[in-house]
Amino acid sequence: MLQNAEQAEHIESQSKLISEMAPKVDGFDLIAHADGSLCITDAAKTLQKRPKDLFAWMGQNGWIYKRTGSATWIGYQSKTSQGLLEHKTTTAYRSDGSEKITEQVRVTPKGLTKLALVFGVSGTELV
C-alpha cells in the first residue's frame, strides 16, 4: 500500500513538472522552427547578452573564428552542418561602381535555441 502511495505521489509531482515546463517547451519549439536567421549582434540582444560577450563566448567555444588578417567572423563547419549557423553573402555596389562581396555569419533559429539553453534563457523570454 505504501508503494502505491509513493508511486501516486511521484506521478503527481511529474505531472506538475510537465505542466510547469510546457510554456518553456512551446517557446523553444516556436523559435527552433522559425524562418530566417539573426546576425550575432541581434542574437545577443535576443538572449539579453552584450554582443561583445556573445562574440567572445562563441569564439572560445568553437562556434566562430577569424582567419589571420581578416576582420570577418566565420562559423565553424561543424556548427554550420548542425544547422546552428549559416553564412549570408551579399554583393554591395560602391560609389565608383565596383562590387564588394561581404559575408556574414548568422545564427539560425536552431542555433538561437541552443544558445538560449546554454545561457539558461527560457523559451518564453525569447518569444
Distance, CA of 21 to CA of 23 (rounded, Å): 6
* C-beta separation of 50 from 44 below 8 A: yes
Residue 123's pLDDT is: 53
Q: Which domain holds residue 76?
A: 22-126
Average pLDDT (77-85) is 96
* DSSP β-bridge partners for residue 92: 100
Q: Is residue 107 part of a domain?
A: yes
Q: How many domains does the chain have?
A: 1
Q: What are phi and psi of 37, to 5 degrees?
A: -150, 170
Closest to 76 measured CA to CA, from 109, 117, 68, 85: 85
The residue with cell 502505491 is 4
Residue 121's pLDDT is: 76
Residue 36's pLDDT is: 79
Q: Is residue 14 part of a domain?
A: no
Residue 27's pLDDT is: 47
Q: Is residue 76 part of a domain?
A: yes
* C-beta separation of 100 from 91 below 8 A: yes
Q: Is residue 63 part of a domain?
A: yes
Q: Is residue 16 part of a domain?
A: no
Each residue of 35-80: pLDDT tens digit? 578 999 999 998 889 999 999 999 999 999 999 998 899 999 999 9
Each residue of 94-119: pLDDT tens digit? 899 899 888 899 999 999 989 988 88
Q: Is residue 11 part of a domain?
A: no
